[in-house]
Amino acid sequence: MLADALRNLKRAVELDPNKAEYHVYVAWAADEATPAQLELASDEVDKALALDKLNAEAYWLRGSVRRMEGQLDDAIKDEKHALELRPARYEAHATLAECYDQKNEPAAAAAEWTKAIAGDRGASTPDGSIPHPYWRYMYGKLLMDRASSGEALSVLVPAVKTAEKMDPRPAWLAPLEFLSAEALRKAGRRAEATEHYKRFLESAPLNSPDRADAQKALAQLTAGQ
């Protein structure tokens, strides 16, 4: 579906290359593609900004591209400028969080994840899925690293429930299962922890550094059953 959307958006740009928003849409689709088409996204963002230097979405997307290219300081500047132009573009906070995470600045990353998640809080689908489960996985991981398992539980459990419904399942589901199991075990929710440890062991690669810890925890949880 994304490939079809990208093709149609490219056609729209060909028909009317003077609309900045059309270039933004192509850049957005290219950024979301798997794998991301960074060169196309970068080119389209530049074209959008040449037409409209106050386009918040263009700065947000350019920041996303720059982050993936490793240009973290430039990405941070773009995301902050996007938020200055349009504070409601809360997705920019998620990109900022990833930048700070890559720069090993956990406090700054946590602050941005909080803002990003607050931006779509309350949104859900009829089946109970939540938007952006990856954001919650990343924030939950950060909280677990900071020994805040109770707080992490509130973001990890909704994230793992949604990620398990995704098709195809994301590569980060296995580590999310492990983190969820760890948080649930520390909260005393043994049955739920057991289930997530099992799901982690079923899906994680054999060389996962968390496999031994999961096996040990599962053995303790199921002892005497």
Report CA torsion sign: 202, 189, 141, 119: positive
Residue 56 pLDDT: 97
pLDDT confidence of 33, banded at 50, 70, 90?
A: confident
pLDDT > 70 in the chain, percent: 91
Integer CA distances (angstroms), 48 to 20, 60, 66, 90, in order: 4, 12, 16, 20
> Please, which pLDDT band fits residue 121 given cuts at 50, 70 and 90?
confident
In a domain, 204, yes or no: yes
Determine, yes or no, domain membership for 32.
yes
In a shared domain, residues 127 and 204: yes
pLDDT per residue as tens digits for the range 130-152: 899 999 999 999 999 999 999 99
Same domain, residue pair 142 and 223: yes
Instruction: Write the burial class of residue 148 (CB in 10 Å: 0-12 exposed, 13-18 middle, 19+ buried).
Output: middle
How many domains does the structure of the chain reveal? Answer: 2
The answer to whether position 24 is within a domain reads yes
Pair 216, 152 in one domain: yes
pLDDT band at residue 32 using 50, 70 and 90 as cut-offs: confident
Best mean pLDDT range from 1-10, 27-36, 209-218 = 209-218
| Segment 48-70 mean pLDDT | 96
d(CA 147, CA 186): 11
Alpha-carbon torsion (31, 33, 38, 42), positive or negative = negative
Asked, for residue 23, whether it belongs to a domain, the answer is yes
Q: Give the distance, in angstroms, between the CA of residue 167 and the centroid of all CA atoms in the same chain.
A: 16
Output the furthest CA–CA distance in the chain (Å, rounded). 70
pTM, full prediction = 0.90
Which residue range(s) make up the domain with 138? 120-225
Contact call for residues 92 and 77 (beta carbons, < 8 A)? no
Residue 76 near residue 99, CB atoms below 8 Å: yes
What are the angstrom distances between the C-alpha of 153 and each of 57, 134, 184? 32, 14, 7
- Residues 19-45 have a mean pLDDT of 89
Grouping H, G, I as helix, E, B as strand and the rest as coil, residue 137 is helix
Domain shared by 65 and 5, yes or no: yes
* CB distance 27 to 45 below 8 Å: yes
Do 206 and 159 lie in a common domain? yes
Q: Check residue 1 and give its pLDDT.
A: 57
pLDDT value at 2 more than 60: no
Give yes or no: residues 132 and 225 share one domain: yes
Q: What is the CATH number of the domain that holds 57?
A: 1.25.40.10
Q: What average pLDDT score do residues 167-189 get?
A: 96
Per-residue model confidence (pLDDT) at position 34: 81
Helix (H) or strand (E) holding 56: helix 56-68
**Is 111 domain-assigned?**
no
Mean pLDDT over all residues of the chain? 91
